[in-house]
Amino acid sequence: MLRYLNSCSRGRGAWLLMAFTAFALEMVALYFQHVMMLKPCVMCIYERCALFGIMGAGLVGAIAPKTPLRWVAILLWIYSAWEGVRLSWEHTMIQLHPNPFVTCDFAARFPDWLPLDKWLPSVFVASGDCAERSWTLLTLSMPQWLVGIFAAYLLVALLVLIAQPFRPKKRDLFSR
């Protein structure tokens, strides 16, 4: 399995699939926001940024999968997935255990050199309450689903990282 994951990480298809899945999740988030009129909170915006990081990692990996740029993509993937797990877990705890002393910020804080909320306010401006459970599927709220989604991204990323030293076997027509 590790050899297979190594060979997948050296091709564009797996990287593009990862970028596409993150893009699809972003489109679902925008559907919830603009069609279903669910207001994203600050934690939702930060989780959205983690998904953009995973999408970016997929695109970076697809650019040159057989070069050292693949390592940059893997590290960005792991970091983004880890942050996504951390943020969605924190968001889940805010929803499951509401506390007036533990709340999220009123607005997302982006660095001065990357003011995403000013560049693209329809995607990165928060207007909801982190403790509100406005949507559920099979009794799980959005952040609970995101914990599982980001954990799956992280697990696969770590397996791909572990698989990097395992070179694919050279296949020969006459070998066994």
Residues forming the active site = 41, 44, 48, 104, 130
* Phi, psi of 167, rounded to the nearest 5 degrees: -70, 145
- Report CA 125 to chain centroid distance, whole Å: 18
3-state SS, 47-99, equals HHHHHHHHHHHHHHHHHCCCCCHHHHHHHHHHHHHHHHHHHHHHHHHHHHCCE
Q: What type of residue sits at position 128?
A: G
54, 16, 36: which is closest to 142 by C-alpha? 36
Per DSSP, 102 falls in state B
Per DSSP, 26 falls in state H
Alpha-carbon separation of residue 132 from 83, 106, 128 (angstroms): 21, 14, 8
Cα–Cα distance measured from residue 33 to residue 42, given in angstroms and rounded to the nearest whole number: 13
